[in-house]
Every structure is written in C-alpha cells, then in structure tokens.
A and B are shown apart, each in its own frame.
Chain A
C-alpha cells in the first residue's frame, strides 16, 4: 500500500511501486488534471508539483514520492480563490484546446515561487512544456501578468 498526499488529502493506493505517479493519479485516484501526452518526460502535460517543484509525473515511479506532497492543477484554487497564475490565464485567454494547460500553469506557479519577477529568458528556461496549439505568446504574457499581480498584492 502506497501512501501519498495529493492537494492536501491523504490517499492510499494498492499498486506496484514502479507504477508512474501519473497513472496512480489518473486511473487509481481519479484525479484527471495531470494529462498523458508522451510518457517519456518530453511534453510536460503530466506535470505536477512535488513539494512545490514541477516534475513530469509520467516518469516518476510512485514509490519515489513517499512523504512528499503532490499538487495537481485541481489544487491550485484555494478556498474558492484562484491562484494569480490561473487568473492571468483567464484574463489573457491563454488556452486553446487546454490539454497542456494544467501542466503549463503548474510550471508557471513553480517558476514564480522561486523567481517572482522572471525575465523572458527565465521564462524560456523554465517553461519547457509543449503546447501543440501554440499558445506560447499568451503563456509568456500571462506569466508576466501573474508576476505583476502577485507583486502588487505583496506590496
């Protein structure tokens, strides 16, 4: 039995330790925010935060995350309040099909957490997830907007 905490809730899963976290979340715990895109850590559709750091859950065996906290896109909203990144994604109409966007938003959340005012180069370096629909221009705009709004809140 593997124990894991997802979005603040404790879960148990009776699965093989080598089963990737992605499939434990999706098929065992019915948490569908993390998406399957490639299965080989290329696309980032499966991104979740592990103790706040983005990981590609398709390539993380569930046994490796014991004691760590998992955040999926479903966990970004707290008490009915959208995360500034989500608000920026709404304001700038970032998504097209939307399939990659949970992973994109989580990656942006992690970026802003350790770099509250990222430059374009920082965004290029951190936002490595694939968007087949090509929303990169709006992702960039929204990351800057989320940074600005978080800063104005902090000020």
Chain B
C-alpha cells in the first residue's frame, strides 16, 4: 500500500532526546481529516492520536514491544494528557515506511537503552495534550462558546454553563482540521489519574489467547523457507560447497551463498527440510586469520590492555598519584567478566519479499528504522521503497536493535529469489554461535585508604572491546566508548582523587548491546571492590557506602530504602549471609540486597533478593515489578552459569544444554521496592540487573571469606540450587 502524505509541516515539538542527539527532530503535521497511516481509518488529530467517530481512540506506538511493557506505558502517557477513558484506547504500531516518508515524525523507533519512556515522555504527553486541546476547541466552536468554558474527561467534552456535552468521536473530524496549538501545559504528575496506576498490558491478551504473532510466525502465500550457515569462525567465508547430495531431495529448491560467501543458504518448501538438507551439504570454509583464537589468547590480549602504560581517560579528579602514594593502606584487585549470548527465545529470523524495487520485510526487531535502513541497503533501493512489518518481539535484550544482521541476511536471501517471499530462520545453534556478544572485560582496581579507612584514592583500568566502533561504526569521543565505562565515568562515591581509564581491545568476536550493557558487568567489579575497601577499613559494607554517598541524595535514598526493606541491621538466620550494592544506570538508581547460603560442596542457595529502583516518575507500577522480577532471572543466569568461550576461533557453546538458562526451581524469592522520588525520568527494563552480581558475590564473601573476582560462578565450582 502506498499513500502519499504531502502536507505542510513545521517543527512543533522537540523530543527530550533531541538534546542527546538520538532524535534529530520532531514535528507534527498540519492536521487533516484523513489518517496518514495505511490501514487506519479515522480522523488523525495529530501523529499520535486518531479518534474514530465510534469513539475508539487509536494511540500510536513508535518503538517495539518485546515484553518490556513500553507499548502500554507509552500509550498511558498519551491517554493521561488526552483525558480519554483507557477502555477506549487501542494501541497500534506506527508504519515504519510512513515514518520515513513523514520525516521521522514519531521520533526514535528504537526500544533500546531503557529509553522508551524517559526519552519519549515529553513528546508523547504533548501529543496527548495538544489533541485534547483541539478536541475541546472543536466542541467549543460547534457550541459557539469559548474553549476556556469547556472541560474534558473520559473522552467527553462538557460545557457546564449550558449542560451540553459531546464525545471526542463526535468532534473528531472537525478537530482534525484545526491548526495545532502552539503551546500546551502538561499536567503535574501529582495530578495523574491513569499514569502511575497499574494498568494491564495491552499485548498480553493476544499472548494468552495464543494469537500473538512474532516475526517467526510470518506466513505468506507461496512462501519458501531458508536455513542459514555462516562460517563457524567469525569473518570466514565459503571456499567451496557441493549441492549434489541434496539435489532432488524432497522440497529443496536452491542452494547458494550470499554476501560474498559469508553464508551458505538452502531454500526449501518448509524450514525443516531446508535445515536438514543444509547439514548434508559438504562445505569447505576459508576461516581467515582467526582460526587459532581462543578464550586464553583473548585473555592474554586483554591483559596487555590492563598493562598498557596509558589509556584514554574516562574520569579524573584530584591528584591520584600523590594521594595513592601518601595513603596509609592500599588494596588492589583484578576482575573479569565473560562474553555472553542474548539467547532470546525466538531465534533470529527474517522474512523478505523483493518485487522489482519494492521490498517487504517481516521480522521481530527492536528498531524498525534500523531494519528499514538495513533492508534498503541490502536490497539497493531507496528507503521509501521498503515496508517493514513489525510484530511482537520474542525477546530482544539488545540482540535485535543495533545488530541487524538478521535483516541483512534475510533480504540478501530474498534477493536471490525475486518475487518469492522467503523466511530465513536460524537454528538455535546458529543463533548461539553467531550472536553479537556482551563484551568480555577485565578490570584492575586499586584504592588508597587513610588511617581511618576512608578512601582517598581510587584507580580503575578497564579493558574490553568497543561496541561503538565495531558494531555501530561510530567514532569514539576522546578515545572513550561510553557503554564500556558505565559506572566508572560517572562515579558517585565521594573520593577526592580518582583516575579511571579504558584500554580498547577489539577481537574478531562480534560484540553487541546485551541487556544493561556496561552496567551489566562493570558494577560487578566496582561494587565488589567497594566491598573490599569496606572490609579493609573494617567497616560494614552498607554503612561504608553510606558514608561515601553523603552528598548523593538519590543513590543514598535507594540504598537506604533497600537496606531497610531487607532488614540489613537485623541478624540473619544461622548460615545465611548477605551482600549489598548500589548503581545508577540509565537515568535510574537501583540497589539490591541478596541473601544466600553456600555449603562446602559449592551449592549456592539464594534465599531472598530485595531490589529497589528509583526511576523518578512511575508510569505502570506492576510492569516495573515484572521487569525487576525478570531482571533477577536474567542476572542470575549470567552470574551463575553464563559464559561464551572461544576455541579455534569459534564459539564452543551451541544450544541450551551447554548455554543453560535459569529455570523455575532456581527462581529465588524476590521483593521489589519501588521508591520513586519524582522530578526525573529514569529507565526500567535494564537498571535492576546492575547491582545483582556484586550484591550476590559480596554475600558469597560474607559467607565464605572467598572473594570471587571472575564470572560466572560455575568457574569456581559453585552451582545454584533450589533454596
């Protein structure tokens, strides 16, 4: 479907994200009685709000839904300002193609970095508020009264003086023809009636009825299916293959390579036939220069990063060298975090159809625009020629945002089969072995304490591959990869002399954004080492942190809230020990207390996790609880058993038997503390994971006197068992 929308536009609002450079601008169109969205009928009040004459209100959602709940929370913010009844609301995805044609009117489409609410809230609320003003204005004009005499609630406009009322649907067409108001006043969040309450997520009923559709569920007439094999050694190519063994096999259509031999493809009339045949095609790989790389050689390479005489500075204050030299006690330690795979339960997949210069793509994506741009580039067509059909995402965790390899491969496969829709699906093995992994990282930390145990000097050297240069091909500012130094570039602890730096060490293993990114691994080093400092100072780890956070209102507040909820000052049952940590990720503040026991067989029981978040404003509290519960599972999987290792240039793990994920029996008791202090907008989907690894490992130290400085715990013979 093509639909030309060609109206005068003017810049109307600027997303708060504009300041960060993530959204280049934002404008609302001049209104028209026609909706611009393919497949939607009804007057478009503005880009976010369509009001149908039957009083169904369509609120558009620009980013992606992968279970994080933002589709609902974003719509709640629009509806709050619109003053409609929630039951009138239907939430619809924005067409990505329309977004491109309308000059990115809906802002960023990326559901990444826990950004959806904190970076969209301003323009979402303004979208709702301006629509409300226009609907009121249309009613006032109908009644020939002043708009200031009218009020609106639950989707109905009232004129009290004459006791008249009109529904939004009744004035929608007239409202859509009015000019956009130049100024709107947003509600004080204290007066919210919908936002801030627990609203049921709009995508859940489809899931429960079994009718939720993911990219992998795409079904098209005449569709064929492709299985893909990339060179097991990253960067390698197909030297030769022999299709003869599968020629004439039932259902097999074609065998070919794409992308200058980067992948071997079998196309068949169902996917099982394609992937079974692929196993039978003899292939010789040219593995390139990296066939001997191993986890050990990577560790050696990173160690050189730790030892490099200098590295770009992430944070410097005071005079580190002088303060360290004159301190009365120094402690030093090295930490390590491994590569991790995303393991979204829906394997990578992409369905594409290329008809001449028209390209259609169906996939689960965290970034519709990224998918569209990748598809256009792979097909060699202008952006406007691509339609991206979005669906629910069967797990993202960062795998389906910045890394759009699945789109590229899907489109390149379809390019070989013009006019035929082809669904390319990764096996779990292919998915595990061709991920964009959470980077491996090493840390060397050193602190100098004065005679009273107070730290006067803090030194951190980090070394890891760069996401920004290798994945996003972005230049580094002052040599620093922001995500790599999270938690060390901004450092809340009151220590006068600090020097934190980062040595870039890129390997051939592709790296990507993995839920909570640098904050998923850096706090393990930082917050365990703060514990080491507390122990060296002979102080209680909670009280020691408090003393160093005196000037940091919010980290202190969440630390206190969690310590209180966890009864930190009260004794624990015999054999149970606890650890604590605090972090400041993605605009929010999170802290955790983990209670464990550990026996001499290495059996670890997690008895209780208390974790708290201050995300400023709370939009949908029950969804925050769900995200925090899920974060515990995600974190515990990584902490206890998550590790991707490299041998002969390739990933050793392949499926859930050797890259295991936490299951029901290991799920600990989780208590969630939501302690919003208001006045800012913080993220929710990722921040809760950040303090868990250090809180748990600090508890292990309390239990055993053993300071475990590398993850996962399985390296140390520790196994998580049912508490």
Q: Are A105 and B626 in contact (CB under 8 A)?
A: no
Could you tell me if B395 and A23 are in contact, using CB atoms closer than 8 angstroms? Answer: no
**Min distance, Cβ A140 to any Cβ of chain B, angstroms:** 7
For residue A2, CB closer than 8 A to chain B, the reply is no
From 60 to 119 in chain A, residues with beta carbon under 8 angstroms from any chain B beta carbon are 72-74, 76-77, 82, 86, 89-90, 93-102, 105
Q: Which residue of A lies closest to B394 (CB)?
A: A99
Known: A35-B216, A42-B655. A98 touches B344 (CB 8 A): no
Instruction: Say which one of B207-215, B259-267, B545-553, B711-719 lies at the interface with A.
Output: B207-215
- Bound: A21/B687 CA distance, A: 40
B670 touching A96, Cβ below 8 Å: no
- Given known A19-B272, A30-B219, A130-B345, contact A99–B667 (CB-CB < 8 A): no
**Known A-B contacts A20-B272, A39-B428; A123 and B345 likewise in contact (beta carbons under 8 Å):** no
Contacts of A100 in B (CB 8 A): 345
B86 at the binding interface (Cβ < 8 Å): no
What A residues does B324 contact at CB under 8 A?
A: none
B272 A27 Cβ-Cβ under 8 A? yes
Known contacts: A35-B345, A97-B66, A98-B394. The answer to whether A133 contacts B630 by CB under 8 A is yes
Is A135 interfacial (CB 8 A cutoff)?
yes
B67 at the binding interface (Cβ < 8 Å): yes
Taken together as a complex, chains A and B put the C-alpha atoms of A129 and B663 apart, in Å, by: 7
**A127 interfacial by beta-carbon distance below 8 Å:** yes
User: CA of A139 to CA of B655 in the docked complex: distance in angstroms?
Assistant: 24
How far does the Cβ of A9 sit from chain B's closest Cβ, in whole Å?
15
Task: Give the number of chain B interface residues (Cβ < 8 Å).
Answer: 61
Contacts of B121 in A (CB 8 A): none
> Provided the pairs A23-B271, A35-B345, A134-B662 are in contact, do residues A98 and B204 lie with their beta carbons within 8 angstroms?
yes
The closest CB in chain B to the CB of A136 belongs to B667
Q: Answer whether residue B392 sits at the interface, using C-beta atoms and an 8 A cutoff.
A: yes
Q: Which parts of B537-575 form the interface with A (CB within 8 Å)?
A: none
Q: Which residues from chain B contact A135 at a C-beta distance below 8 Å?
A: 626, 629-630
How many A-B contacts are there with CB distance less than 8 Å?
A: 164
User: Counting CB contacts under 8 A, is B633 at the interface?
Assistant: yes
Contacts of B394 in A (CB 8 A): 35, 97-99
By the criterion CB–CB under 8 Å, are B208 and A90 in contact? yes
Q: Could you tell me if B271 and A102 are in contact, using CB atoms closer than 8 angstroms?
A: no
Contact, CB under 8 Å: B346 / A90: no
Given that A27-B270, A32-B213, A101-B207 are contacting pairs, would A137 and B629 also be in contact in the complex, using a CB cutoff of 8 Å?
A: yes
The prevalent SS among residues of A at the interface is: loop
List of B residues within 8 angstroms of A96 by Cβ: 66-69, 626, 630
Asked if B8 CB lies within 8 Å of chain A CBs, one says no
Which residues from 629 to 686 on chain B have a C-beta closer than 8 Å to any C-beta of chain A? 629-634, 655-657, 661-665, 667, 670
**Contact: A23 with B208, CB < 8 Å?**
no
- Judge whether B14 is part of the interface by a CB distance below 8 angstroms: no
Is there an interface contact between B345 and A97, defined as CB atoms closer than 8 Å? Answer: yes
Confirm or deny: A3 has a beta carbon within 8 angstroms of a beta carbon on chain B. Answer: no
| Residues of chain B from 193 to 207 with CB closer than 8 A to chain A in the complex | 200-201, 203-207
Let me know if A130 and B271 touch, CB within 8 A: no
- How many angstroms from the CA of A13 to the CA of B662 in the assembled complex? 37
Bound complex: CA A33 to CA B212 (Å)? 8
- The 0/1 profile, CB within 8 Å of B marked 1, for residues 120-149 of chain A is 000110011111111111111000000000
Q: For residue B668, which residue of chain A has the nearest CB?
A: A137
A38 to B204, CA, bound (A): 24
Whether A43 sits at the interface, judged by CB under 8 Å, is yes
Once the chains bind, are B634 and A45 in contact (CB under 8 Å)? no
Closest to B630 in A: A134
Q: Which of A20, A38, A73 contacts B656 (CB 8 A)?
A: A38
Q: How far is the CA of A133 from the CA of B344 in the complex (A)?
A: 8
Query: CA separation between A98 and B271, bound complex, in Å?
Result: 22
Looking at chain B's contact residues, is the secondary structure mostly helix, strand, loop, or mixed?
Answer: loop
Chain A positions within 8 Å of B722 at CB level: 124
A30 to B223, CA, bound (A): 12
> Contacts A33-B210, A42-B655 given: A130-B205 contact, CB under 8 Å?
no
> Given A124-B665, A133-B395, A137-B670, A89 and B655 touching (CB < 8 A)?
no
A27/B346 in contact, CB under 8 A: no
Contact of A74 among B210, B396, B425 (CB under 8 A): B210
Q: Is B217 an interface residue (CB 8 A)?
A: yes
Which B residues are in CB contact (< 8 Å) with A30?
A: 219
Contacts of B450 in A (CB 8 A): none
A134 to B394 CA separation, bound complex (whole angstroms):
13
Determine if B9 is an interface residue (Cβ-Cβ < 8 Å): no
Give the residue among B212, B225, B343, B623 with the most A Cβ atoms within 10 A: B212
Q: Within 8 Å of chain B (Cβ to Cβ): is A16?
A: yes
- Identify A124's interface contact among B217, B428, B664, CB under 8 A: B664
Say if the beta carbon of B375 comes within 8 Å of chain A: no
Give every chain A residue within 8 A of B208 (Cβ-Cβ). 82, 86, 89-90, 94-95, 101, 105
Pick the residue among A16, A27, A132 that contacts B225 (CB under 8 A). Answer: A27
Q: Closest CB-CB distance, B461 to chain A, in whole Å?
A: 33
* Docked CA distance A139–B629 (Å): 12
Q: B518 near A: Cβ within 8 Å?
A: no
Closest to B665 in A: A124
- Among B68, B210, B214, chain A packs the most CB atoms within 10 A around the CB of B210
Pairwise interchain contact A76-B210, C-beta atoms closer than 8 A: yes
B250 adjacent to chain A (CB < 8 Å): yes
Question: Are B272 and A98 in contact, CB atoms less than 8 angstroms apart?
Answer: no
- Tell whether B427 is near chain A: CB-to-CB under 8 Å: yes
- Given A82-B208, A100-B345, A32-B219 contact (CB < 8 Å): yes
A127-B664 in contact (CB<8A): yes
B346 touches A35 (CB 8 A): yes
User: Is there an interface contact between A133 and B67, defined as CB atoms closer than 8 Å?
Assistant: yes
Q: Which of B205, B626, B655 contacts A138 (CB 8 A)?
A: B626
Contact partner, A28, options B200, B270, B343, B393, Cβ 8 Å: B270
| CB of B685, distance to nearest CB on chain A (Å) | 10
Q: Is the CB of B345 within 8 A of A134?
A: no
Contacts of B210 in A (CB 8 A): 33, 72-74, 76-77, 102
The 8 Å CB contact of B661, one of A33, A82, A127, A132, is A132
Interface: B358 (CB within 8 A): no
Q: A27-B272, A95-B67, A133-B630 are in contact. Are A36 and B665 (CB under 8 A)?
A: no
Q: Check B204–A97 contact: CB distance below 8 A.
A: no
A59 to chain B, nearest CB (A): 12
- Which residues from chain A contact B204 at a C-beta distance below 8 Å? 89-90, 93-95, 98
The contact string, 1 if C-beta is below 8 Å from chain A, for chain B 66-84, is 1111000000000000000
Contact digits for B322-342, partner A, Cβ 8 Å, 1 yes 0 no? 000000000000000000000
What's the least CB distance linking B477 to chain A, in Å? 34
Bound CA–CA A53/B656 (angstroms): 23
Which A residues fall within an 8 A CB radius of B?
A: 15-16, 19-20, 23, 26-28, 30, 32-33, 35-40, 42-43, 45, 72-74, 76-77, 82, 86, 89-90, 93-102, 105, 123-124, 127-140
Which residues of B pack against A, CB within 8 Å? 66-69, 200-201, 203-214, 216-217, 219, 225, 250, 270-273, 343-347, 392-397, 425, 427-428, 622-623, 626, 629-634, 655-657, 661-665, 667, 670, 722
- Give the 4 A-B residue pairs with the shortest CB-CB distance, closest first: A134-B633, A96-B67, A98-B207, A97-B67
List 19 interface pairs A-B (beta carbons < 8 Å), by A numbering: A16-B250, A27-B271, A32-B213, A35-B346, A36-B425, A37-B346, A37-B428, A40-B655, A89-B204, A93-B201, A93-B622, A94-B204, A97-B394, A98-B207, A98-B394, A130-B661, A133-B633, A138-B629, A140-B667
